[in-house]
Amino acid sequence: MPILLPAFVLGGTGFILGILIFVVSKYFHVEEDHRIDDIEGMLPKYNCGACGYAGCRDMAQGLLAKQAKVEQCKPIKTEAKIALMKHLDELFKSELELKKQ
């Protein structure tokens, strides 16, 4: 029995810490804006930094905050650039309509 005591203590400690991690992750959960994922999906995903941002996700956040312009993205193809500009225009128009109401 003395040889099993450390295993029980370690297993019990792991179980308690696992429950604690689960509870803390539920309490401190942060919802991300799904629009960032949509915009990032329309970018080329090279994460090259040519736009001045650390990667495509940061560029998407900048576009959503109106701090960046689509033209800053160097490797984006013309069709994708047009589609992204239309998407952003629709997104910002819908935001304006919601603010007016």
Please say whether the beta carbons of 34 and 61 come within 8 A: no
Give the tens place of pLDDT for each residue, 32-83: 899 999 999 999 999 999 999 999 999 999 999 999 999 999 999 999 999 9
Amino acid at 47: N
- Residue 100 binned pLDDT confidence (cut-offs 50, 70, 90): confident
Reported as a pLDDT band with limits 50, 70 and 90, residue 99 is: confident
H-type alpha helices, 1-101: 5-27, 34-42, 56-64, 78-100
Supply the pLDDT for residue 91.
92
Q: How far from 51 is each of 9, 10, 43, 56, 66, CA to CA, in Å? A: 53, 50, 11, 9, 14
pLDDT the model gives residue 98 = 76
pLDDT at 64: 94
What CATH class is the domain 34-100? mainly alpha
Q: What pTM does this model have?
A: 0.71
Cβ atoms of 56 and 47 closer than 8 Å:
yes
pLDDT of res. 44:
94
Domains of the chain, residue spans: 1-30, 34-100
Exposed / middle / buried, residue 81 (Cβ in 10 Å: 0-12, 13-18, 19+): middle
